[in-house]
Amino acid sequence: MAIYIDSEAIRWRGRQWCHMVADTLEELHVFAARLGLERRWFQDRCRYPHYDVTMAVRSKALRMGAIDADRTMLIACCKRVRSQALSRHSQSILP
């Protein structure tokens, strides 16, 4: 299991932001809480579940063991997590 974080540095509201994902949603939420992020900041209404974090939070995450990821690695991880979530959801609605 791992936490991945890119270095996109997207400018928004006077800051630079990047994306944080993980091998599982549970791991992502636990790591985000350790970083001091609020669960309500989780981006789950988009194609890929993630947290947007500032570059300062990115630096802290890397010091805590997150992996510096390129876009390809980040998207691959997001697709796996999304697939897992969809699979769990479909299993939960089966009779």
Tell me the pLDDT tens digit for each residue of 47-82: 788 899 999 999 999 999 999 998 888 888 878 877
According to DSSP, the residues that pair with 20 across neighbouring strands are 5, 51
**For residues 82-93, average pLDDT:** 59
**For residues 9-16, average pLDDT:** 85
Q: So what's the pLDDT on residue 23? A: 87
Q: So what's the pLDDT on residue 17? A: 93
Q: So what's the pLDDT on residue 3? A: 94
Task: Tell me how far apart the alpha carbons of residues 79 and 10 are, in angstroms, rounded to a whole number.
Answer: 21
Q: So what's the pLDDT on residue 95? A: 56
**For residues 29-38, average pLDDT:** 96
Q: Do 5 and 31 contact (CB within 8 A), yes or no?
A: no
The answer to whether residue 94 scores a pLDDT higher than 80 is no
Q: So what's the pLDDT on residue 82? A: 73
Rounded to two decimals, the pTM is: 0.81
According to DSSP, the residues that pair with 55 across neighbouring strands are none
